[in-house]
A and B are shown apart, each in its own frame.
Chain A
Amino acid sequence: MGKMTSAERMHALMMGEKPDRMPVNPFAMGYCMQIVGLPLGDFYSDGKKSFYGQFMSMRLHGYDVTPMYGYASAGPWEFGGEIGFPYGPGHSAPYVKEHPVKSIEDVENLEVPEFKDGKLPGAYQIADDLFQICAKYKMPITFQSGSTFTAASVVADTNLFLKWVLKEPKILHMLLDKVSDMYVNAIEFFAEKYGAENVMPFDGGPVEANTILSPKKFEEFAYPYMEKLHKKIKDEGIRVVLMHPCADQNLNIPYYIKVREKFNWQGKYIWLFGPETPVQDQIDAFGAHDIVCGNVDPPSFQTESYEKCVELCKQNIEEGRDSPSGFILAPGCEFPPGASPDKLMAMMDAAEQFGRYD
């Protein structure tokens, strides 16, 4: 087998065929800006610069995923609150400056943002500036479509939100329903604008992690809205969804399995779990249908040596390489924005040395 291009490699993976080597998704976002000498904040505040940084980083390193846009604190800006962009020391992603919901009354008065071309709410306009360039290059449109629970937890004051889990379930459901309606609008808009076959919704968040939320409350408050959105995704004819259940979500896995079974989903999920979830557990849960990603511990790329990073990637490759529907080498969350480029090189070198199928 000759060496494949990244596009050929990803195509083979999606078609259930063996590529020349396993693809690599370094989940590199803010990191890309150091490659092009731009401040990290530009990744999130300027769609064109964000594309440029990601495109150049992808070409320089030779990894296999195309530019995308999203961040963990999505939601507040779109609902009328305020966010800050990460230009200060220690920053890594946009952060909430003002939550639009600080009371029960705020939930009742909250209006679901509309999606109109050229006038998208909050960061979706920045994202669409990036997507328009992706479309020119025939790259997938990877837009944020969840998670509802994590977005709602920052649309509202987070402490209040978490207390409502127990004290105000009806209000919490009202809030979650409105936030999920924003994502319904996003799914509809991007599927229509770019074509369902060209979009890849990206769903994930950390606030439903089992270090915060019990699986029982996940079932009550997170699952119904995941189901609502995934039904919308299926109804729109979208075929691929990138799922990132962030941090320790081991106790939530049965619900992620359930959402596929519920709609007899015939498309593909790409699962990117945190390092807390053994790769074998992911293969057991999803490997028969879906693509499983690696989950190398992200801080290691910042704190460990090149050699150690290669070793960690090698272990991850060995755990996932025979996953029946394919495997992508990846860290368990975003590649550290401050990691040095040799650590991403370690990931690529490991894939080349130990991740070949030919």
Chain B
Amino acid sequence: MTSKDELLEQLSNAVIEGDEDLCAELAQKALDAGIDPYEAIMQGCNKGMEIVSNKYECKEMFVPEILLSADAMYAALDLLRPHLKVDADAKATGKVVIGVAEGDIHDIGKNLVLMMLDVAGYEIIDVGRDVPVDKFVDAAAEADADIVAMSALMTTSMVRMEPVIQGLKEKNLKAKVIIGGAPISKQYADKIGADGYGKDAVEAVRVVNDMVG
């Protein structure tokens, strides 16, 4: 294993451990060593978050652990991103408008999906929580988004997703829609005309990858 590989593996492990200070230190070391920041992000940060995602699926890690991993990852990303070369920056996989459906302020799940899409290379437009229908549609139009991702925790807010899908269609926008959240099912996603459904943050990223792919 080369010293570069070792450094990136250490970065990946620091993300998994949620060690914010170590992540920043290793990111700086990577820059000082002349490692391509894009490679540091993908082989260090992204790889670490993929392992975190797998551990969450296996119930080996839970939300508090993921939040600390996210903080650690962003400590590295904040240092690495300003050094991305323009051509590497252009590698953004797609644009995602993401938010919580109208009437709903529960955004932990949305933030997990956002973070995982972010590190997977998507350009994120976070429209927040309790998002009115028009705001989703306008944001998708303005960004020429590839994906609109919506979450809901309540049975009252889940019904605010269908008008967004209708709004996107009425404006002939290209964005595909993925939905998720506690009361949502694949059947409901199909029923309201969503293109995809993610039962959790890990699956959501997989589905978005397939939709964009």
Contacts and interface: CB of A to CB of B under 8 A. Distances in A.
B156 A90 contact: yes
Interface in A27-46: 30, 40
B160 interface: yes
Contacts of B67: 159, 162-163
Contacts of A30: 156
Interface stretch (B8-16, B84-92, B96-104, B169-177): B96-104
Interface stretch (A12-20, A288-296, A298-306): A298-306
A73 to B, nearest CB: 9
A338 B182 CA distance: 16
Interface stretch (B30-38, B40-48, B57-65, B137-145): B57-65
B77 to A, nearest CB: 18
A166 interface: yes
A89 interface: yes
A90 B64 contact: no
Interface string B162-193: 00000000000000000000111101100100
Nearest to A88: B103
Interface stretch (A61-69, A119-127, A137-145, A207-215): A207-215
B105 A165 contact: no
B62 A91 contact: no
B62 A213 contact: yes
A162 B64 contact: yes
Given A91-B103, A162-B67, A299 B59 contact: no
B105 A96 contact: yes
A91 B59 CA distance: 31
Given A92-B154, A167-B68, A213 B63 contact: yes
B159 A217 contact: no
A166 B65 contact: yes
B100 to A, nearest CB: 10
Nearest to B111: A159
Given A159-B108, A166-B64, A339 B103 contact: no
Contacts of B191: 303
B148 interface: no
A336 interface: yes
B130 interface: yes
Contacts of A299: 155, 158, 183-185, 188
A184 to B, nearest CB: 26
A298 B62 contact: no
A95 interface: yes
Contact of B63 (A212, A298, A336): A212
A337 interface: yes
Interface residues of B, number: 33
A357 to B, nearest CB: 31
B108 A166 contact: no
A58 interface: no
A155 interface: no
Nearest to A336: B155
Given A90-B101, A90-B130, A303-B191, A338 B63 contact: no
Given A214-B62, A338-B159, A163 B108 contact: no
Contacts of B198: none
A95 B132 CA distance: 17
A214 B104 CA distance: 25
A6 interface: no
B183 A298 contact: yes
Nearest to B182: A247
Nearest to A160: B67
A338 B62 contact: no
A158 interface: yes
Contacts of B158: 299, 302
Nearest to A334: B155
Interface string A276-300: 0000000000000000000000110
B157 interface: yes
B59 A210 contact: yes
A212 B59 CA distance: 10
Contacts of B64: 162-163, 165-166, 212-213, 217
A222 to B, nearest CB: 13
A104 B1 CA distance: 43
Interface of B: 18, 59, 62-65, 67-68, 71, 101-105, 108, 111, 130, 132, 154-160, 182-185, 187-188, 191, 200
26 contacts: A30-B156, A89-B102, A89-B160, A90-B103, A91-B103, A91-B156, A91-B157, A92-B103, A92-B155, A93-B154, A96-B105, A158-B108, A159-B111, A162-B64, A162-B67, A163-B67, A165-B64, A210-B59, A211-B200, A212-B62, A212-B63, A214-B62, A298-B183, A302-B158, A303-B191, A338-B156
Interface of A: 30, 40, 86, 88-93, 95-96, 158-159, 162-163, 165-167, 210-214, 217, 247, 251, 298-299, 302-303, 336-339
Given A166-B64, A299-B185, 17 more contacts: A30-B156, A86-B103, A89-B103, A89-B132, A89-B160, A90-B102, A90-B103, A90-B160, A91-B156, A166-B68, A167-B68, A210-B62, A212-B64, A213-B63, A298-B183, A302-B158, A303-B187
**Which 8 residue pairs across A and B have the least CB separation, nearest first?**
A90-B103, A336-B155, A92-B156, A165-B64, A90-B157, A299-B183, A90-B102, A92-B154
